[in-house]
Amino acid sequence: MSENTTVLSASGPSDRHAHVPHGEWPSGVAPAVPTVAAEARPRQAAEPSETRAILLDAESRDEVPLDVIWHRLSSGRWRVVTQFTTDDRHYLVVKSQRAPHKQPEVELLLRTLLGERQKVVALDTELSPSTITTRLSSSLASMGFPPRPARVPILLVATAAVAAGRIGTPAARLTRATTPEGEFAILSTTRLDAHLRLILTPAEWLVARLLVDGLSHREIAARRGSTTRTVANQVASIFRKLEVSGRRELLLRAVTGHAQAAV
């Protein structure tokens, strides 16, 4: 065990590494409840819940560069077990694995995550748009994300942007946790879209956050108590002000703007 790695028992934190007995996670005063979670799937007993992942993350002082996260996900060394957001942070919980699952098509993922339209990629690769969508879905699934290219999480876009040299090398907060089921890592960043509030109206800002979090127009309308038509009009205004044409471009605009604001 390195000098930066000690043990967190179920009774409370002593440093940044968590050793968690099967089915046991630290308890305490509940933090903010996640606002948007990943697509529901059965959770293994020894995986951290969102609330307990937030508790562990809050204790951490370690960091990992975003490009390292990208390379570990794309090489199969890490696989996402859940991803969610709160009002303040984006989270990924990943599991280490020795034998990688099917590896993603990295170049294809990078091109689409960094703003190239799927039709353009299809023409360039001489593949049909439906084949591109299928391969993107398969690549996301191999990383542990829901196989929905239209709803990729902003944190994945950020890791791709850093790996491709589009922005500098910001880091995510890192917490490691050991359970009988394996090694987990909790990764988090501050919200990468916070600066957009300076450009948008308060109502548009709230809609933009939900759009970034992966909600559909119908889901946003239900959350906001409005109509899908109102949401569509607000989204059109958001895209016009930010000079983007879709959600994926919105994510990239948020990521690059966050990097510029941090300089």
With left for phi above 0 and alpha for psi between -120 and 50, is residue 204 left, alpha or beta? Answer: alpha
SS3 176: strand
Residues of the chain with pLDDT > 70, as a percent, come to: 79
Structure tokens at 104: 């993603």
Q: Answer whether 257's CB lies under 8 Å from 195's CB.
A: yes
| CB-facing half-sphere around the CA of 81: CA atoms within 13 A | 24
Long-range contacts of 43-49 (CB under 8 A, 24+ apart): 43/81, 43/82, 44/81, 44/181, 45/181, 46/20, 46/22, 46/179, 46/180, 46/181, 46/182, 47/81, 47/82, 47/93, 47/95, 47/179, 47/181, 47/184, 48/20, 48/93, 48/177, 48/184, 48/186, 49/25
> Using one digit for the tens of pLDDT, what is the confidence trace for 232-255?
999 999 999 999 999 999 999 999
With left for phi above 0 and alpha for psi between -120 and 50, is residue 12 left, alpha or beta? Answer: left
> Using one digit for the tens of pLDDT, what is the confidence trace for 116-152?
888 888 888 888 888 988 999 999 999 999 999 889 9
> Using one digit for the tens of pLDDT, what is the confidence trace for 186-225?
999 999 999 999 999 999 999 999 999 999 999 999 999 9
Domains of the chain by start residue, with CATH: 1-191 (no CATH), 194-262 (1.10.10.10)
Q: How far apart are CA 76 and CA 79, in angstroms?
A: 6
SS3 263: coil
Give pLDDT, residue 158. 96
Give pLDDT, residue 25. 39
Residue 82, C-beta contacts closer than 8 angstroms, at least 6 positions apart: 37, 38, 43, 47, 50, 53, 92, 93
> Using one digit for the tens of pLDDT, what is the confidence trace for 13-50?
333 444 443 333 333 323 344 555 444 344 454 456 89
Q: Tell me whether residue 165 is exposed, middle or buried, using C-beta atoms within 10 angstroms of its C-beta: 0 to 12, 13 to 18, 19 or more.
A: exposed
Chain-centroid distance of CA 54 in Å reads 14
pTM for this predicted structure:
0.81
Give pLDDT, residue 193. 95
